[in-house]
Amino acid sequence: MSYPISEIKVKKVKVKLRKVFRTALGGREQEDVVYICVVDKRGNVGYGESSPSRAVVGSSASAIVDALELFLEYAIRSELTGLDVEKAKRIFNTYVKSPKDALAGIEMAFVDLSCRELGLPLWRFLGSEKRELITDITVSLSDPDDMLREAREYISRGFRILKVKLGDPERDSERIRTLFENVPSNVKIRIDSNQGWRDLKTAQRFVRMLERYDNVELIEQPLPRWMIREHRSIKYSTSIPVIMDETIMSVRDLVTAWSHDACDGINMKLMKFGDIFEGYGACKLARELGLKVMVGCMLETKVAITAAACIAAACDVDYVDLDSPLLIESVDVRAEGGVTYEGDRMILPGEPGLGVKLEL
What sign does the CA torsion over 216, 340, 301, 141 have?
A: negative
What sign does the CA torsion over 99, 100, 105, 110 have?
A: positive
As a whole number of Å, the CA-based R_g of the chain is 20
Separation CA 328–CA 255 (nearest Å): 34
pLDDT average, residue stretch 331-348: 96
Amino acid sitting at position 83? L
* Residue-wise pLDDT tens digits, 52-105: 888 788 789 999 999 999 999 898 888 898 889 999 999 999 999 999 999 999
pLDDT average, residue stretch 22-50: 93
Pairing of strands 319-320, 161-165: unpaired
Kindly state the helix (H) or strand (E) to which residue 294 belongs, with its residue range.
Answer: strand 292-295
* Residue of higher predicted confidence among 18 and 79: 18
The answer to whether 163 touches 321, Cβ cutoff 8 Å, is yes
Burial class (CB in 10 A: 0-12, 13-18, 19+), 206: buried
* Residue-wise pLDDT tens digits, 236-289: 999 999 999 999 999 999 999 999 999 999 999 999 999 999 999 999 999 999
Of the candidates 187, 192, 171, 196, the one whose C-alpha atom is nearest the C-alpha of residue 241 is 192
Q: What is the set of domains in the chain, with CATH numbers? A: 5-120 (3.30.390.10), 124-358 (3.20.20.120)
Residue 1 confidence (pLDDT) above 80: no
DSSP 64: H
Kindly state the helix (H) or strand (E) to which residue 258 belongs, with its residue range.
Answer: helix 251-259
Residue 12 confidence (pLDDT) above 70: yes
User: How far, rounded to the nearest angstrom, does the alpha carbon of residue 63 sit from its chain's CA centroid?
Assistant: 19
Separation CA 56–CA 336 (nearest Å): 29
* Residue-wise pLDDT tens digits, 281-336: 999 999 999 999 999 999 999 999 999 999 999 999 999 999 999 999 999 999 99
Please tell me the pTM assigned to this model: 0.96
Residue 48 confidence (pLDDT) above 90: yes
